[in-house]
Amino acid sequence: MRCQECGGEYRNSSEPIIYRVHGEDITVEGIEHRVCDGCGDELLSLKNTSALQRRANDEYRTRHGFLSGEEIKAIRTSFNATQEEFQRVIRSGPKSMTRWEKGTVLQTGVTDTLLRVLRRFPMAYHWLEIEISDASFEQDTKSAMCN
């Protein structure tokens, strides 16, 4: 297989890969991949891409003391919330809980802080649930008035 960028040849490699997490370069070792001998382009299988992301995120998490996927899941389930319900209450994007809990995407510092606050003060979650449903009620009323 030839490189689409430079026409170079790919060779197998397990050399360290540098992966950027929240602006910080993390070196991950032992991930099988292919490297173009011309331009250095790296090719990874889908499975090894997930492994790379998880390992890099784990390293960042250790360095900066972020919550792990298991801890995030434990916080969510302590409120008996599905991933979709939890996402709605904290207003995160679709699939974000799945990604954070699996560890393929690392939560931002602000999200990590929010999750810690919710763990320490569960009442804040219930307050948010009410706040969010009030906000959507207000929106419904407004759009009804516009019609």
The residue from 6, 18, 74, 130 that contacts Zn ion (CB under 5 A) is: 6
Applying CB under 5 A, the span of 4-12, 90-98, 99-107, 131-139 interacting with Zn ion comes to 4-12
Name residues contacting Zn ion, limited to 32-51 (CB under 5 A). Answer: 36, 38-39, 41
Applying CB under 5 A, the span of 29-37, 45-53, 114-122, 138-146 interacting with Zn ion comes to 29-37
SS3 70: helix
Q: Identify the H or E element spanning 27.
A: strand 24-28
On whether the CB atoms of residues 89 and 125 are closer than 8 A, the answer is yes
On whether the CB atoms of residues 77 and 71 are closer than 8 A, the answer is no
Nearest residue (CB) to Zn ion, 40 versus 94: 40
The two three-digit tokens of residue 20, written as one number: 């950027």
Nearest residue (CB) to Zn ion, 41 versus 71: 41
Distance CA 105, CA 99 (A): 5
Nearest residue (CB) to Zn ion, 36 versus 72: 36
On whether the CB atoms of residues 36 and 8 are closer than 8 A, the answer is yes
74 binds Zn ion (CB under 5 A): no
What is the smallest separation between the CB atom of 15 and Zn ion, expressed in angstroms?
A: 16
DSSP symbol at 18: E
What is the smallest separation between the CB atom of 45 and Zn ion, expressed in angstroms?
A: 18
